[in-house]
Amino acid sequence: MIQFEHVFKRYPNGREALQDVSFRIGAGEFVFLTGRSGAGKSSVLKLVALLERPTRGSVLVNGQDTGSLPARAIPAYRRRLGVVFQDHQLLMDRPVYDNIALPLMVSDTRYRDIDKRVRAALDQVGLRAQERALPLELSVGEQQRVGIARAVVARPTILIADEPTGNLDHTLARDVMQLFARFQEVGVTVVIATHDMALVREFGHRELHIDEGRLLGGASAS
């Protein structure tokens, strides 16, 4: 569950990214975060991932107020989240397998469990055959799938994605979105920031629309 209560976010350069934003996303829900570029979608995701802290207001994730989390508790908090980016943020000098295994490595998972879970994640995203390939040897769509596999391999309860289909054509974007839908079916809360309204309409999930840092619609959980 994710809950924003009267959240304001002002960056050091003076930009007001979020102004009095309140919403609630229930456990296992699939929500689209929509709005133009610079509207404040990424700021919402950054606050959930604790890449930023709110200037005012509170952000509750799974009942925990992230504002009260000390710095030393942040790594353990992030291990319970899956994060996907438009630019994938992969380690380009490591094979696909190692990229996907990274969240399990940092959480001191046993090697034999890592192997099972990485292979399961590779199967889920259809990249089993490319496990030894370097990211640069893959297409953009495949790289995005590696990013998704890395985000879900540690079995997070929440999966957030910032413009995950931004670099993909419509067919690939649909495939990626269906992948996210499959994770929601198994109980994962999915939050996707996108400006691809065609996809939003096609998948028909709840939409939180943000414009100039203000939430304009979809605040209540369905």
Does 10 bind other proteins (CB under 8 A)? Our answer is no
What value, to the nearest 5°, has the Cα angle with vertex 127 and ends 99 and 117?
A: 60
For other proteins, the binding residue among 48, 96, 154, 210 (CB under 8 A) is 154
DSSP one-letter string for 37-102: TTSSHHHHHHHHTTSS--SEEEEEETTEEGGG--GGGHHHHHTTEEEEETT----TTS-HHHHHHH
Least distance (Å) between residue 15 CB and other proteins: 15
CB nearer to other proteins: give 51 or 198: 51
Binding of other proteins by 85 (CB under 8 A) = yes
Q: Which of 154, 168 has the CB closer to other proteins?
A: 154
Question: Structure tokens of 6?
Answer: 């009267």
Binding string to other proteins for residues 42 to 81, with x set by CB under 8 A, is what? x--xx--x-x--------------------x--xxxxx--
Site for other proteins in 89-118 (CB under 8 A): 89-91, 102-103, 105-111
- Which DSSP letter does residue 170 get? H
Nearest to 61 by CA among 40, 82, 38, 32: 82
Contact residues toward other proteins (CB under 8 A) are: 42, 45-46, 49, 51, 72, 75-79, 83, 85, 89-91, 102-103, 105-111, 150, 154, 162
